[in-house]
Structure 1
Amino acid sequence: MVSHKDVIASNRDAWNASADHHRRSAEWARLTDAVADKGFSCLDSTLTEQLNQVGLTGKAVIQLGCNNGREALSLFALGALEVMGVDQSSEFLKQAHELAERSHYSPEFVEADIHELPATLNERFDVALITIGVVNWMPDLGLFFSHVARTLKPGGKLVIYETHPFLEMLDPEASDPWRISTSYFQAEPLVESVAIVYEGKGEANGQQSYWHVHRLSDQLMGVVGAGLRLCAFNEYAHSNREDLYDVYTQGEAQIPMCYALVAEKL
């Protein structure tokens, strides 16, 4: 059985190995131009509305799992005074620094395993943000959320905008995309050895990555167990994943595809 530390290290190496693929994409070229706009934001309307309700004006915000920094940079357009992005991938953080240099803002980026955040981040932030795809890379939700909670000042808010775990049961590329293909209660992570991409299929690269299918109940209890009080929770029928998941937004049948959660540190 692979240890949690080995899983985290493998995921870090897999993301680092995938960074060049993302940098060679058309999306990267678009981003390098777009971030020069003072009002730049790549956040969709659902997350923008949620963050506006929480209120970022004049506040210190930390994003856990910031990838190339595009979402961290977007927080300034919503009024954030100070922004920090944390990620364990040094290669994606290089991209984050490059985007920041092209923007009007100066976020801080920290390379760290979110399960072992430096004590200097404790009770420093008014808002902590987690967006799509972060939770599933975490092998230990209890440990993960305990460190997330430590970054918040008393009264600070955690905002999560994530894929709904219901989607993990479906395969949008199957001949019948509506057929249940995976157990909701799958305990073992999905292991792959291909480049991590947002669209299409990644090329085999020999770097193992571990994707954990966490039930919604585990995610909610992880938040509560970290000493956070649930303030708001909403499920949505729209997708915040790759375009191929749009197949589930067509037709009369609607399924939960993503959710937004707000919790407060007691």
Structure 2
Amino acid sequence: MNKCLFFIVLITCSYAFCQNKNIYFGVKQNFAELLIHKNEVSHLANYRIKGISAILETHTNGEKAWHPYYNYPNYGLILNYQDMGSPALGEVYSLSGFYKFFFLKRRVYLTTGLGLGFTNKRFDANKNPKNIAYGSSILANILFELNYRLTPDFNKRLHFDFGLFFQHFSNAKIKSPNSGTNHYGLQFGVSYNLNNSFVKNNRLDQKPNITVKPDVNRPFQFHFIVASGLNDLEILNTKPYPFFTLTALTEKKLSFVSSVQLGSDLFLS
């Protein structure tokens, strides 16, 4: 029941935003294995990992200068359910924002995603001592995908996708233990354009024409950044402590997408 509600939310939202845009809804199934990046997580790797994702996405349309420069990437949300196989790791639910960057006439794409996850089996010294990967219920989620997209001639609104993926879960060292997990594997899925009128973006089939030129002759720019966060001491049953960083840097623009920076950081904890 929970898994059904998990995907109904995304389907309902997709229709609300399906006006005057190509909105795609997709589903992917994946099968993976745990990557043993530390010896202490080897006892968690003797299980098969599987999951399913619901994807809601749309495309950029050239309104901004960087859209054609990066070949009109897609962007959206991925709602993911992952059965980590091991009884100690349990299940992880995650929500990520993502961008898709296309190559080879939009047949191949690279997905980069970042978001948050929730595990139902975090570490507990008494009830779940084997889970040294997740010290907290809330996790950070990092996702990479490399897929091939097949569009059949009989229905241009339909897409079939298959490829490779890599996913990372951890709590960013907010609470120990935090070995985290990395898993990789194969995935396949299908997506469909929900807009009945099928808003065609002719620019996607054209060679990008970059008309905006960077102002590389402008003087050096100076930036000051103040940031803060929480950090764990890697000792069980201890609270996280705040830290602060102060960054000062200078920047010189080289091109539309690149620049050179030089600066220093002050770290206080």
Decide which structure has the larger Cα Rg and report it: 2
Greater percentage in strand: 2
Which TM-score tier does this pair reach, normalised by the shorter chain?
Answer: under 0.3
Bigger relative contact order, structure 1 or 2 (CA pairs below 8 A, ≥6 apart): 1
Is the helix fraction higher in 1 or 2? 1
Question: How high is the TM-score relative to the length of structure 2?
Answer: 0.24
